[in-house]
Structure 1
Amino acid sequence: MSLPLFPLNAVLFPGCVLDLQIFEARYLDMIGRCMKQGEGFGVVCITEGSETGDVPDGFSMIGCEARVTDFQKQDNGLLGIRVVGARRFRVKDFSTQRDNLLVGDVEWLDDPQEQPLQEEDDDLVALLAALAEHPMVAALNMGLTASGQHSLANQLAYLLPFTEEDKIELLEIEDAEQRLDAIQDLLDEMQGDMQA
């Protein structure tokens, strides 16, 4: 499966919302094509290099498909789009087009069935509810309610201030319970660092 790739300093998760400002010709063309064809594009996290200009020196080989849900011209004249994360994928190979657009040969990763929330998830559910009240999070209109362990894990991994490297590792974990355990471990580390 061939998928246009958009390297960003961010990690997108399934079911999560991301607002982007588009100004480079290669991405304006890509968004136009995706919207005409009703298709998505792939968000991959930059590991070396920058978001603008040439192809970054390094990016994650695991990413998340982004589907455009809304768009508008911004006050600054740029195109603003809102995307929602769909399927996860792994980049098997990639090439760079003449306009510097990256195109990946990707394989879709199976997303496990939603698992019901357990009693031990209560603290993390409460944390998600607290995050939902933050004005920046509320502005995303993600409808932050966890329908199960999978959506809880995706939303927390996306919203919490973990490093991009940690988020890439979380995106790779298929099992929702394991991802929630990994999130809890990262939270415990953060708390330990704050107390030190």
Structure 2
Amino acid sequence: MKLPLFPLNTVLFPGCRLDLQIFEARYLDMIGRCMKQGVGFGVVSIVSGHEVGEAPKSVSQIGCEAQIRDWQQLPNGLLGIRVEGGRRFRVERSEVQDDLLLEADVTWLEEMPDQPLTEEHDDLAALLGALSLHPMVATLEMGGEVNGQQELACQLAYLLPFEREQKQVLLEMDDPSVRLARIQVLLEQLQGEMLA
């Protein structure tokens, strides 16, 4: 399947929301086409290169579909859109179009069946609840109650202040319980750094 890509200095996760300001012609055209056709686009993390201007030199091979949930003209005159992460995908092949838009052949990744939360996840669920009170998280209408390990893992991986490379590793994990275990390790490392 062909998918237009939006390379960013961030990692989008399934079920998570991201607000974007669109000003480059290639992305305005892409968003217009996506909205007319009722389809999404792919968000991939930039490995080397920049968000603006030329197409980046390299992007991660695993990304997340972005589905447009809302749009508005911002006070600065730019188009503002809110997207929500959908399915994860693998980039099989990509090429830069004439308008510098990156387009890729992608394969959708299979998701494992979600598992219910257990007592061992209580602390992580409480952490997500606390994060939901932060004004920036509240604006995105994220956090609070979650329905399983997948949702908890994706929201924590997205919202916590991990390095982009760490977030990318978390996105590439197929098993939500493994992702949650890795988040626990990263949290302990963060706490260690804060105490040092």
Q: Is the contact between residue 47 and residue 59 of structure 2 (CA under 8 Å) also seen in structure 1?
A: yes
Counterpart for residue 138 of structure 2? 138
Q: Is the contact between residue 5 and residue 41 of structure 2 (CA under 8 Å) also seen in structure 1?
A: yes
User: Alpha-carbon deviation of 1:144?
Assistant: 3.4
User: Alpha-carbon deviation of 1:47?
Assistant: 1.5
Counterpart for residue 68 of structure 1? 68
Q: Does 1:82 align with 2:85?
A: no
Matches of 2:175 and 2:8 in 1, distance apart? 25
Provide closer, same or farther for how the CA distance between residues 124 and 143 of structure 1 changes in structure 2, counting only shifts above 3 A: closer
- Figure out how many residues of one structure are paired with residues of the other and give that number: 196
Counterpart for residue 168 of structure 1? 168
> Partner of 1:52: helix, strand, or coil?
coil
Letter in 2 for 1:184: Q
Q: Does 1:56 align with 2:51?
A: no
- Percent identity between matched residues is 63
User: Alpha-carbon deviation of 1:49?
Assistant: 1.4
Counterpart for residue 95 of structure 1? 95
Query: TM-score scaled by structure 2?
Result: 0.98
Task: Show CA shifts across 1:111-133 (max 9, x none).
Answer: 12221001100000000000000
Counterpart for residue 45 of structure 1? 45
Provide closer, same or farther for how the CA distance between residues 140 and 75 of structure 1 changes in structure 2, counting only shifts above 3 A: same
Letter in 2 for 1:61: Q
Counterpart for residue 109 of structure 1? 109
Counterpart for residue 13 of structure 2? 13
Task: Show CA shifts across 1:40-96 (max 9, x none).
Answer: 000001121111000112211110000000000000000000000000001011011
Counterpart for residue 121 of structure 1? 121
Matches of 2:182 and 2:142 in 1, distance apart? 23
Task: Show CA shifts across 1:122-176 (max 9, x none).
Answer: 0000000000000011000135321000100000000000011000000010101
Q: CA RMSD in A?
A: 0.8
> Partner of 1:191: helix, strand, or coil?
helix
Q: Gaps (5+ residues) in structure 2?
A: none
